[in-house]
Amino acid sequence: MESMEIDGGKTPSKGVNAGEEEKEKTKPIVLLLMGVPGSGKSTFCDEVMRISSRLWARVCQDTINNGKAGTKIQCLSLAASALKDGKSVFIDRCNIDREQRADFLKLGGPQTEKHAVVLDLPAKLCISRSVKRTGHEGNLQGGRAAAVVNQMLSKKELPKLSEGFNRITFCHDERAVKEAVNVYGSLGPLDSLPSGCFGQKNSDTKIQQGIMKFLKKADPPGNTGSEPTQKFIPNEIPVKKGSVFQRTKMGQRPSDESVEKFEKRNEVDITSTSGAISADSIPTLAFPSISTADFQFNLEKASDIIVEKVEEFISRIGNARLVLVDLSHGSKILSLVKAKAAQKNIDSNKFFTFVGDITQLHSQGGLHCNVIANAANWRLKPGGGGVNAAIFSAAGSALEVATKERASSLRPGKCVIVPLPSSSPLFLREGVTHVIHVLGPNMNPLRPDCLKDDYIQGCRILREAYASLFEGFISIVKSHGVVSKLNCGKSDEGIPTNDDQKTKREAVYESDKNKKCKGSQQDLEQKSKDKKVSKAWSSWAQALYDVALHPDKHKNVVLEMSDDVLVMNDAYPKARQHLLVLARVDGLDSIADVSREHISLLKTMHAVGLKWVDKFLSEDKSLLFRLGYHSVPSMRQLHLHVISQDFNSIHLKNKKHWNSFNTPFFLDSVDVIKEVKEAGTVTLKDDKFLAMELRCHRCRSAHPNIPRLKSHISSCQAPFPAALLQNGRLVSSEGTS
DNA sequence: GTTCTAGAAC
DNA sequence: GTTCTAGAAC
């Protein structure tokens, strides 16, 4: 931890023979500060400039534009002109990743020295400074500052000499910052500083020094080979020193791809424990492709399912990561999944593929995964071959014993979570704390329970397998309390509503509504009186109408059908379970068209909905449901929504989605039936509710945006508001409430 | 209804 | 610089 001890250049080496090599010695310095907001970049510059006898210019992106934030280009041009004037330059911007730094490293060509000072201070400190600076005290602003800082931290790439730096100084605490200020502050116009990396932090300074020495020998300064002084140094998992040397020395990289991934995703944080996010502390699940090896599952289909399930779960895993692992570099499944995930824009920080041995991800690949999945056999026994054999063998008898305690067999599509005893070599060497055994569908006639070519069953089971695997991983992460705490803090709550916005929307509302109606104003008024306002339905809004009237054309989507109603999945489900029960009668476009004559139809729709709820509840008791109608639906044809109350879906994307199910705009089926019975029509709620602030449907707390709301509802366990608990509005496994 | 994307918000 | 929303097009 005594980071500055390694620093050989605390005092600047004074230029000798002044005059003779004047040009060499007066090379101006381009000094890139690197750090998140609040890390003290500007203060660093100010301090150095205050005490320095050298001419410095500070290029600060936050103020370059007449005191306001400017662009990178402006910074580059100002820096270039300062260099022309013979000044050394501070590049005072976050410079958080390599790409951000690259253009600044070209400044002034070889006639300038390129330095970096990394202000890698504890995230907490940066956040609190950043809050103070903006003068926004309080939870909300604090929460935002934290989010900004942590967002940046998750992207940070520490600078390396190979990028083109002559000297990099790492500061992990304020003492180190002070020392760096002194180093640069006491640098006279003719002085220079030794090249190299200084102040790197590591849990084992001796190893660090050893590697520094070794690398100096092996790679002369300036050689790109001197880049990764921190690359293969594990932070928390004990590794024999010898092995560290060996790997570095012999360049035994697992594969180009994995090293590339490793560099990109993990190296950054491997040496840093001060940031809020360290790669070793990010909960990570490594999993092999299920069923595609010995069980011969079609690779195209399997890759679709993997990507689909990852997409489904990724919003629920917080800051954790999912990694698909395959031993072979030319793995077809890996490349298929990689391409499909990229196509779907899945966050590559949260999900990526990795080439390597799943039992040696940390020691060989530098990737720390606290949980690994095993493509198990139904007996949960070692052997067979492939991943199963490898994992049981690497984990030793401890895994076998621990597995036996949990389960004796496994059905296809299911998984069993086994905490790995600390005596297991996988725990000790790789830092694996849990193994999740998963059994996928088998398409291989030579293995038990072969489905032959029944890919309908096969796909269903494979989906189930990944779902239970990811569900299992989430439960581990949650029980260990390592999912990002940022998003579920109390600071999210009690956010005032934006009244201005609300009134604006209300004003717009009427004209909008009229725009949607067809016919002249006169017609409209007449129709309004008759309660028969009909919309000019756009072509896209006719899809349900077409299904209801021509179900034979849509056999693939129809789950159940009678003369009166039809059941289908919502094409873009807004929750884990989201069905539509369609009325099949023509002319019943929406709930506005309903009258007493439709009471029995409404009851049928409700009963069919309830039947499906029962089915879903028998599969998952934890679900809760509401059945209801949108006051003003977007799609033509009366349809009842049957929706589970988790609202856990990637398709729930905006305020309208949320509010259409969680404000009075959503009319509970029981209330609709009652009102039609009593009054003959339904009182619609206008769509100003769609623009309301976002509130949790359970605890009613307000949230500033959809991601924050979703994060909150993923964990809110507050009881539902009293009104929902009455008259059977909410349906649970305990029956209707 | 969704997708796309400009620009606001952070 | 990135995230998020909201409006237009379909």
- A272: in domain: no
Q: Measure the CA–CA gap between A222 and A166, rounded to whole angstroms.
A: 8
Residue A19 has pLDDT above 80, yes or no: no
Interval A491-533: pLDDT, tens? 333 323 333 333 333 222 233 333 333 333 344 334 333 444 4
Is residue A584 within 8 Å of residue A548, measured between CB atoms? yes
Q: Please report, for the domain that includes residue A97, its CATH number.
A: 3.40.50.300
Residue A373 token pair: 């999945």
pLDDT tier for residue A629 given thresholds of 50, 70 and 90: very high
Higher pLDDT, A213 or A79: A79
- Within 8 A by CB and 6+ apart from A446, the residues are none
Higher pLDDT, A246 or A328: A328
Q: Is A565 helix (H, G, I), strand (E, B) or coil?
A: strand
Q: Show which of A201, A228, A255 is a domain's final residue.
A: A201
Q: Measure the CA–CA gap between A710 and A694, rounded to whole angstroms.
A: 10
Same domain, A566 and A440: no
Provide mean pLDDT across the span A90-98: 89
Interval A399-449: pLDDT, tens? 998 898 888 888 888 888 988 888 888 888 888 889 999 999 999 888 888
Q: How far is the CA of A484 from the C1' of C5 (A)?
A: 24
Q: pLDDT value at position A279?
A: 58
Interval A104-134: pLDDT, tens? 898 888 889 999 999 988 777 777 777 666 5
Q: Measure the CA–CA gap between A118 and A268, rounded to whole angstroms.
A: 12
A368 catalytic residue (yes or no): no
Same domain, A427 and A517: no
- Within 8 A by CB and 6+ apart from A478, the residues are none
Q: How many helices (H) and strands (E) does chain A have?
A: 25, 22
> Which nt has its C1' nearest the CA of A570?
B1
Q: Please report, for the domain that includes residue A713, its CATH number.
A: 3.30.428.10
Q: How far is the CA of A154 from the C1' of B8 (A)?
A: 24
Range of the domain at A544: 504-736
Interval A530-587: pLDDT, tens? 444 456 799 899 999 999 999 999 998 999 999 999 999 999 999 999 999 999 999 9
- A709: in domain: yes
The dihedral built from the CA positions of residue A68, A73, A76 and A80, taken in this order, carries a sign that is negative
Q: Which of A126, A150, A365 is nearest to A265 (CA)?
A: A365
Does the nearest atom of strand B lie within 7 Å of A655's Cβ? no
Residue A637 has pLDDT above 80, yes or no: yes
How far lies A324's CA from each of A286, A314, A375, A474, A535, in Å? 6, 13, 12, 16, 48
Which bases of chain B are contacted by protein, using any atom under 7 A from a CB? 1-3, 10
Out of A172, A368, A630, A639, the active site residue is A639
Residue A610 has pLDDT above 90, yes or no: yes
Provide mean pLDDT across the span A9-37: 61
Same domain, A343 and A379: yes
Q: Show which of A186, A201, A216 is a domain's final residue.
A: A201
Same domain, A455 and A514: no
Q: pLDDT value at position A10?
A: 36
Q: pLDDT value at position A132?
A: 63
Same domain, A579 and A717: yes
Interval A271-322: pLDDT, tens? 333 333 345 668 899 999 999 998 999 999 999 999 989 988 888 888 889 9
Q: How far is the CA of A99 from the C1' of C9 (A)?
A: 35
DSSP bridge partners of A255? none
- How many separate domains does chain A show? 3
Q: Which residue has the tokens 């840093």?
A: A272
- A191: in domain: yes
Q: Show which of A463, A479, A495 is a domain's final residue.
A: A479
Same domain, A450 and A523: no
Same domain, A388 and A328: yes
Residue A11 has pLDDT above 50, yes or no: no
DSSP bridge partners of A546? none
Same domain, A362 and A424: yes
Per cent of chain A over pLDDT 90 is 39
Q: pLDDT value at position A431?
A: 86
Nearest protein residue, CA measured to C1' of C2: A151
Residue A617 has pLDDT above 90, yes or no: yes
Q: Which residue has the tokens 């010695």?
A: A25
Residue A45 has pLDDT above 70, yes or no: yes
- A486: in domain: no
- A373: in domain: yes
Same domain, A664 and A532: yes
Q: pLDDT value at position A53?
A: 87
Q: Please report, for the domain that includes residue A358, its CATH number.
A: 3.50.50
Q: pLDDT value at position A506?
A: 29
Does the nearest atom of strand B lie within 7 Å of A252's Cβ? no
Alpha helices (H) in A396-498, listed in sequence order: 397-406, 425-430, 455-479
Q: pLDDT value at position A465?
A: 92
Q: Is A391 helix (H, G, I), strand (E, B) or coil?
A: helix
- A214: in domain: no
Does the nearest atom of strand B lie within 7 Å of A136's Cβ? no
- A109: in domain: yes
Please calculate the CA angle A281-A40-A108 and round it to the nearest 5 degrees. 100
Residue A590 has pLDDT above 90, yes or no: yes
Q: How far is the CA of A540 from the C1' of B5 (A)?
A: 20
Residue A248 has pLDDT above 70, yes or no: no
- Within 8 A by CB and 6+ apart from A328, the residues are A334, A355
Nearest protein residue, CA measured to C1' of C4: A705
Same domain, A422 and A525: no
Same domain, A545 and A509: yes
Q: What is the mean pLDDT of chain A?
A: 77
Same domain, A448 and A516: no
- A156: in domain: yes
